[in-house]
Amino acid sequence: MSIHEECGVFGIINKNPFDAAGAAYYGLYALQHRGQESCGIVVNDDGVFSSYKDLGLVSEVFSADTLARLPEGNMAVGHVRYGTTGGNSRNNCQPIEVNHQKGKMALAHNGNISNAARLRNELELAGAIFHTTSDTEIIAYIVTRQRLRAASIEDAVSLAMDYLEGAYSLVLMSAQKLICVRDPHGFRPLCYGKTADGCYAAASESCALKAIGAEFIRDLEPGEILVFDGERVISRKEHCGKKEKKLCIFEYIYFARPDSVIDGTSVHKARLRAGEILAGACPAQADIVVGVPDSGLDAALGFGRASGIPYGIGLIKNRYIGRTFISPGQSARLDQVRIKLSAVEESIRGKRVVLVDDSIVRGTTSGRIVRLLREAGAREIHMRISSPPFLHPCYYGTDIDSPEHLIACSHSVEETAQIIGADSLGYLPVSGLGELIRETEASVSGAGGGKESADRGRGVDGHDCAGYCCACFDGNYPTAVPSDTRKDRFERKLSEKKL
């Protein structure tokens, strides 16, 4: 089992009709790393919504013919999904569309609503009928209900935020407006920019803005609502500052693309710094440092620079296969690891290898990679992980819903090393998390931003990571822990339900 990605959202608007579907396609293609289960695009052509959604990668779902069947419009929203609530079915594909007497709406969501079970129960008892098992439909229902008493769609969104707990970065399209929302904790990233021809675009990561030629403007603040009408951008901040900022630290370690900048921090530099810290905390005597593609590569480079051990290419990734966790079962996961990665024997035969990866969850994938290097002739393998041990479930958009899936909960570091077949194992210390963020914030912000960034990174909880959610490592949850955390909690068999 590996860490599962989040989702990616994208929205674009202009005052005049254009190839909105094409722009959304390129934006989603750049966000493919955030979700590989399904994808979808909804185009708004003068208030008429046209959409296409299906299971699969962006390149598989949207052919040239499929895109050509979507009309030109003045705005579009798109989504790539890895579901953390609800199964992998076409019904759960996003964006979710709503037809209502107050107007149409299309909604794309990245995150996980931690009070989803309670909200859904209340809505169903009040007469709501759900067509999906995704928590995104719960958001759509609440916004729609608030629309009945709100003067505008953005007012309804603001009112709905009072009911929602947990992580949600939203891109919402009405007949006339594009609305972007980041939850008050700011768990998930969301930014916006503008193209040379006047299109405003919003996306989970800045790399998607680059993909369509848009200039990055800024990240949304936690709790902020941005309203686009094609010509203006209106910022609403009535929910800003109500809760402590808690951006997911794992965005920097794994989720985001290295060329993205999130809340002023370069993802690439954060990962380099993680490798440097790791080299100091968990040194090894070795001949070569090898990164596991893709998210382990930057940390491996940082480890090599700090340790003086040469960095080399020891693993090659097959670019035409999805990530291992898409597999439906354990045996399929093992088979996909075998064909997904191959060892470069000339680089590692007879050598002592430092193998750097971003995380260990259950240990199955790590064990298989270690065996690949053993089979290729590695003399020693010293596994180094650019994150601390996972000790706690995540309720904010990462698919770790139970401690029983976490090898670090039941085994020591030495035992884990033996299980995966490594000669030694070392993790990034929790105390290093704030350091890697603070250092990179200062370098991105420039001379004027260093002290402010450093002050923001210093916490009072013992590991110097204020402003970021590290709950999967330290158990300090920013919200109430839900009673039922299973991904399939809305899809349970009759025999599993309490009577």
Active site residues: 7
Determine the Cα–Cα distance for residues 437 and 249; give it in Å rounded to an integer: 9
Positive or negative: CA dihedral 250, 463, 413, 408:
negative
Burial of 392 (0-12, 13-18, 19+ CB in 10 A): buried
Pairing of strands 380-385, 424-427: parallel
Classified as helix, coil or strand, 410 is coil
Report whether 333 contacts 364 (CB < 8 A). Answer: yes
What are the Cα distances from residue 5, in Å, to 126, 171, 352? Answer: 33, 18, 32
The one-letter amino acid code at 139 reads: I
Classified as helix, coil or strand, 137 is helix
Determine the Cα–Cα distance for residues 76 and 92; give it in Å rounded to an integer: 19
Nearest-Å Rg of the Cα atoms of the chain is: 22
Read out DSSP for 163-228?
T--EEEEEEEEESS-EEEEE-TT--S--EEEE-TTS-EEEESSHHHHHHTTPEEEEEPPTT-EEEE
Determine the Cα–Cα distance for residues 305 and 279; give it in Å rounded to an integer: 9
Write out the two tokens for 403. Answer: 């401690």
Identify any residues that bridge with 236 across adjacent strands, giving them in sequence order: 225
CA angle 25–12–71, rounded 5-degree value: 60
Write out the two tokens for 405. Answer: 């899936």
Determine the Cα–Cα distance for residues 458 and 476; give it in Å rounded to an integer: 16
Burial of 193 (0-12, 13-18, 19+ CB in 10 A): buried
Classified as helix, coil or strand, 96 is strand
Determine the Cα–Cα distance for residues 380 and 290; give it in Å rounded to an integer: 12
Identify any residues that bridge with 18 across adjacent strands, giving them in sequence order: 73
Report whether 219 contacts 263 (CB < 8 A). Answer: yes
What are the Cα distances from residue 188, in Å, to 3, 239, 249, 435? Answer: 16, 16, 10, 20
The phi, psi pair for 290, rounded to 5°, reads -125, 135
The one-letter amino acid code at 197 reads: D
Write out the two tokens for 288. Answer: 């070569």
